[in-house]
Structure 1
Amino acid sequence: MYITDHIPEKDLLIRLQGGDHRAFEIIYKKYSLIIYANILRMVRDEDIADDLLHDLFLKIWNKRVEIDPENSFKGYLFTCSRFLVLNFLRHVSVERQVEKYLSSVRTELYTHIEELVFLKETDNILQNAIGQLPPQRQKIYTMCKVDGMSYVEVASLLGISISTVQDHIVKANQFIKKQLSTTDNLTLLLGALLITY
């Protein structure tokens, strides 16, 4: 049986190197509280500090043969714990950056989908309004406003005067604005922008 007060640390470390579980327990009891307090001071979270302390002593056990009994073990523990905490904080920082990026991508995608849905709904309302125009007015409006033809081109193709084309467009715009006024204000605004160019 070990008597912890009487075993020099160097001897404990030599026994630890040899895989002595009792020596490991004694070392753990001797240093765990002070190392835990140091880790907690850096991470400010008890659960994380517990996990990191556990990881530290697991590494100590797994790398026990590399421990130099001639050097300060306490200093070695503090150095190892500091590196462990820094790696943890670096990992958390990377995770936060990734989460921030993914969040912005999700928001962008959601906004894009929302805009597409809104534009589709607005386009349906606009197409419905255009579909209610008299056939000749609908044809002229479509040629000018949808196909992008000039009043001169439309007049020439249909064999009518430019002022007739203009009259149809003015009346079509008035009718469509009136139809759009029955929907919400945002759609109305968008519709007005679509038809007044």
Structure 2
Amino acid sequence: MKNGTELTKWWAQTLVGDVKSFSRIHDTLYSPLYFYLFKIVKDEDIAQDILQDLFIKFWERKERFGPINNVKYYFFKSARSLAINYLKAYRPESLDPENHKQVDVVFSAEDLIVNIEVGREARQILAMALNTLPKRQKEMIFLRYFDEWNYDQIAEVTGLQYQSVVNHVHRGVSQLRLKLTENKKTFPRELVA
């Protein structure tokens, strides 16, 4: 993915009506945003519809947004908000009844271990282990380790305090380590150490 500086430059050019710059933002962010939204709404068409709405709103309201320092995170935060609003309106049962901003991110074996060579059984065990985590921990681990965001960025997108993000990630990793340790024979040593 392009670095934040390029996205910020393209957004500045978008503010003066440069369609090509906005198109570059779209091309750069579409896939990771789609993947994130799909994990939240669990429906390809809905994820695409939300994403289309997101880009239309950003284009039509660009003057209201003004300069944005962290374009990627602003788009992710906005996408997450639109997804939660969709779930509240059409599938309220999919949200945590106590906290309507908590979403359930579901992992498949294919989503996992992109750069690590492990067997099919190991991927399935890891996917099952991830899916046993509480919703918030799954989302934090997804953003931290699969999207490679830092804690500040995760806090910004999710609206949580920095320490809360750190705690969620730490607890999630601890739980995963415990589950993986139970299945040591399946995983390379460096994954469970």
**TM tier, smaller:** 0.3 to 0.5
The TM-score, its normalising length taken from structure 1, stands at 0.42
Task: Considering fraction of residues, name the structure with more helix.
Answer: 1
Q: RCO higher in 1 or 2 (8 Å CA, sep ≥ 6)?
A: 2
The TM-score, its normalising length taken from structure 2, stands at 0.43
